[in-house]
Amino acid sequence: MDAIEITGIKSPAEKPMPVIMSIAKCKCPRCRQGNMFVDKNPYHLRHTMKMHETCPVCGQAFNLEVGFYYGAGYSSYAISIAVSVLSFVLYALTIGLSINDYRFLYWIFINAILLVVLQPVIMRIARSMWLTLFVSYDSNWRSNKADAPERTNETQKNNW
């Protein structure tokens, strides 16, 4: 690993995971290695949203400013729409739709349950997407120091 740092040549092992995988696995967007969330299982509901303050691998701050993750509502909405479209297409192709029976209403009901059940995962991926929009991958994360966020406030941390 030391040789890699000195020469600056990346070995295949140093290739970062693709951004889509990094978002899905809730990895730090700067090094794509550290976990954003303390508990790996999103269905441990007491800890679903418990995040590391900084990346345990590269030190990137996860709380960029006060109320940063309010914005994850936008990505959460986008993911929920995508899940709904997917479930609608799958339902239409397998069970089918008609205006002469209640199949469309059944889909609405099934989709609502699906969204509730997936909520812990959707909330996490929404935060991961949101952070990835603001923090880009740094191939020299081992040697570069992570930026310290300027607009944080100790008393307002996790205040949402």
Quick check: 42 and 121 in contact, CB under 8 A? yes
Nearest of 37, 32, 31 to residue 20 by alpha carbon: 32
Write the CB contacts of 109 (distance below 8 Å, at least 6 apart in sequence): none
Q: Which is nearer to Zn ion, 101 or 147 (CB)?
A: 147
| SS3 (DSSP) at 141 | coil
Between 18 and 73, name the residue whose CB sits nearer to Zn ion: 18
Positions in the binding site for Zn ion (CB under 5 A) = 28, 30-31, 34, 55, 57-58, 60
- Is 57 or 118 the residue whose CB approaches Zn ion more closely? 57
Q: How far is the CB of 71 from Zn ion (least distance, A)?
A: 20
Q: Of the two residues 28 and 51, which places its CB atom closer to Zn ion in the complex? A: 28
Give me the least distance between CB of 152 and Zn ion, in Å please. Answer: 17
For the bound state, the minimum distance from the C-beta of residue 60 to Zn ion, rounded and expressed in Å, comes to: 4
Minimum distance between the CB of residue 51 and Zn ion, rounded to whole angstroms?
A: 12
DSSP per position, 104-159: HHHHHHHHHHHHHHHHHHHHHHHHHHHHHHHS---TTTTTSPPPPPSB--GGGTT-
- Could you tell me the smallest distance in angstroms from the CB atom of residue 153 to Zn ion? 23
Select 115 or 149, whichever has its Cβ closest to Zn ion. Answer: 149
Strand partners, 27: 35
Question: Which of 65, 51, 72 lies closest to 126, judged by CA?
Answer: 72
Look up residue 14 and give its amino acid. Answer: E
